[in-house]
Structure 1
């Protein structure tokens, strides 16, 4: 199956004239004899095409589709979480084209559902997609009641939400054992080679990289006005915007809440609450430390990244490859990019996130650590450079030696030195005994 490249574009009935192709664009202005835009007609005739802002683009298959399909065959309900504009709606509408669809962000519909949730669901044809369902938590109990009437009927309710905390609270309280929960993140590099460090992976940016600056500005504003205000009832959104920029400036660093609170003039509990909002809306990636009894004093605070590298670059004021190459943040941005790609691979397989870093008080640090099957451990060092040296692998070698020495049973430790490389030079080489140097594209193929 495939999903739309313009993942978050609204349905045809909800689009503005410009989004329907009636604005600038010669192709969109060309009409056939019936008065239909040539672009729109081509999309109607070929279901593998979509129309987005006067452009025709091909679907991009989402890696999570097989997991969604299995879930829909096994559970009465499927809950799809993930950040706003990652493509949840488009994925479900493509996979379940005959399902009825309800966007629970429309004020009139929300008011109607809250007034009579039972009547709303009685009139809804199943299978049904309830989009942004966390806005109307009243429906959870009624969906559960309908599931309990026909518990063996799978794939009847598809629920999406951009705020994990309220969504999962409703699922936990009302639908335990009745729903499969999956997480959709923006495009992965496995899904499209157009994912990049500078522009990131949001579908609409991938479709139109030239409009990235405007898109990210609009995205941040929408995020503040909808998700942040809804989650916190924050009155001073300007301070929260400064907080978001401050988190970006700490990209890839060990989390220090006091250092975030001081320049904003807010309390540490407030910072904790705000970080929780960023995490539950999938705007940040939290990488916890790896704990192991190695006879060392370990750093116990997590690292924090802005999840999407394109959004991180936008918040840091990086708008071109030249600016990125000169930026003091390029190393941290590359590390976060690789980390988020690993998180996407795990999420697309329906797995929980297993991604860590290691650092002790003597300064030994390894960027990423990923537990594998059968007890294997992968140590990953990320270098935003075209070439690497044996010294780059030294921290991983020291940690691998400590792991092998302290474990009671033999452990397989895999060491990968991940770096930037020209596509033509995407080869694997050994830079030190037991260490592989791979361009990031090749590394992801091994995950």
Structure 2
């Protein structure tokens, strides 16, 4: 597949001009290494998953660094987090030399802890997620956004099977001592069947025969390795009781479809999971639009105990909130707007745009506003609006 420009590239280059070190986190195989090697072709590349290199780092880290001539790309830095303290010492001898130490990492939380302890003020931290619809039109519900799936869509099932095996053997075992990887694999499939639902750990624990704290630990693993999206509820001094648990989505719709056994577009169209999968796809596009600009990822949902629910509340730069409903239907109807207008009355001045996002119809019939102040945008139009600054 021809190289596709990543939207994070300009932010990454700018960070390399202002920080001695840059760390790019994100899920395994999202394209982190390809991006760094493309932007910094003269940098020395070091793969820290290599056992021999890990042994050299641990036996004599100073000698290891002395043998390198910056700029350097450290791939999968979470394998040797102790190296960060020695990199900091090198940076402090020449703090004005920018963009010398470039790293990738697939385990966000442990890596962030190491950076906060060793590299505070010296490293810019960015996140690269799989391809977004803004980067390539090849991204879709069935295939998701992983580069290698988009390059070879016919090998999709084999790739996801291999990806899961690698993920279980490397990332899961590296973070915690999961004794039964087969049960963890079943947990992933069960979680896919709860895609888009409010998180209920007891409901997940019972079929697997594990404890609720174990489910919490496993969700933490998925979160720090970038495999799930947990969308928290929005609280803003409402005079009503609100649901307080997050909604859970798998981060990549292609992986979710694979775990659900969906192998074709025809199966996806008939699936009862089409709606939740589309909703999760919209959530991922919102978060990708934020991460690609180097912004903090921020997304909420709203649901009260009277039944009012809005899929997403998206903070925007002007301090307004976009209220978004994601509908897999191609025909948009006025009742779809009613949750948005109801919540708008409660939020008052904080509410910005009200948007129903829907799938695009081949008929290309433009859909005007479906209710007073409510816009209907197909998915591509919505992604385009996310990239605008208003």
* TM superposition score normalised by structure 1: 0.85
Equivalent position to 1:97, from 28, 34, 41? 41
Find the counterpart in structure 2 of residue 121 from structure 1. 65
Alignment of 1:266-415 (within 5 A): 266-404=210-348, 410-415=349-354
Partner deviation per Cα, 1:155-185 (whole Å, 9 max, x = no partner): 0000111011221111011000000000000
Find the counterpart in structure 2 of residue 433 from structure 1. 372
Residue 135 (structure 2) pairs with residue 196 (structure 1):
no
Partner deviation per Cα, 1:185-205 (whole Å, 9 max, x = no partner): 000100000000111000001
Distance 1:424 1:93 in 2: 42
- SS in structure 1 opposite 2:263? coil
- SS in structure 2 opposite 1:92? helix
Change (3 A) 1:426 1:441: farther
Equivalent position to 2:4, from 57, 60, 69? 60
The higher relative CO (CA closer than 8 Å, separation ≥ 6) is in: 2
The Cα of 1:412 is off from its aligned counterpart by: 4.5
CA contact 1:103–1:132 (8 Å) conserved in 2: yes
CA contact 1:426–1:439 (8 Å) conserved in 2: no
Distance 2:262 2:50 in 1: 34
Find the counterpart in structure 2 of residue 181 from structure 1. 125
* TM superposition score normalised by structure 2: 0.97
Change (3 A) 1:320 1:172: same
Find the counterpart in structure 2 of residue 153 from structure 1. 97
Equivalent position to 1:444, from 366, 383, 387? 383
Aligned residues: 386
The gaps in structure 1 that reach 5 residues or longer are: 1-56, 405-409
Distance 1:296 1:323 in 2: 41
Distance 1:299 1:426 in 2: 37
The Cα of 1:58 is off from its aligned counterpart by: 1.7
- SS in structure 1 opposite 2:102? strand
CA contact 2:323–2:351 (8 Å) conserved in 1: no
Find the counterpart in structure 2 of residue 136 from structure 1. 80
Change (3 A) 1:177 1:428: farther
Distance 1:350 1:427 in 2: 33
The Cα of 1:289 is off from its aligned counterpart by: 0.4
Find the counterpart in structure 2 of residue 417 from structure 1. 356
Partner deviation per Cα, 1:261-284 (whole Å, 9 max, x = no partner): 111111111111110000000000
